[in-house]
Structure 1
Amino acid sequence: MQVQGKYDARAFLAEQMTRAQGLRLKRLSEEAYQPGQYSRDLSSAEAAHRIQVLEAEIELANSF
């Protein structure tokens, strides 16, 4: 991100998925047998959405 010609590292980092999100998403995608749901270059919002969806799918599968 650039702000008035300067690179804004805080804005860039806010957009990227956090390390914790990455680790959680990787574990959940493996647990749900959907490794394609994990990608290193996701935004924080997209990672949060995928985590939520995978958690719901796993919970549903465990309810049977």
Structure 2
Amino acid sequence: MQVQGKYNAHVLLTEQMTRAQGFKLKRLSEEAYQPAQYARDLSFAEAARRIQALEAEIELANSF
């Protein structure tokens, strides 16, 4: 996926999310009470985007 320090954009958009991403996304979606954010067939890039969004949302909620 990474070639000489550069990411291959095509691979990131088409490759399935990793097992680690799946576990993390499932945990975060449950923690944020948004189970619909988790899906088994996401791309690597989409899973990364959702993880980042959920982490930001949880961080914001915890700041109150």
Shorter-chain TM-score: what band? Answer: 0.7 to 0.9
Which residue number in structure 2 is paired with residue 21 of structure 1? 21
Q: Report % sequence identity.
A: 83
Gap runs ≥5 in structure 2: 1-10
Q: Deviations over 1:5-49 (max 9, x none)?
A: xxxxxx6xx610000000000000000000000000000000000
Count how many residue pairs are aligned between Structure 1 and Structure 2.
52
TM-score for the superposition, normalised by structure 2: 0.78
- Report the Cα distance in structure 2 between the residues aligned to 1:50 and 1:63, rounded to whole angstroms: 20
Q: Distance in 2 between matches of 1:28 and 1:63?
A: 17
**How far has the Cα of 1:56 moved from its partner?**
0.1
Aligned to 1:52: 52
Q: Which aligned segments of 4 or more residues in structure 1 are displaced greater than 6 angstroms?
A: none
Unpaired runs of at least 5, structure 1:
1-10
- TM score, norm. by length of structure 1: 0.78
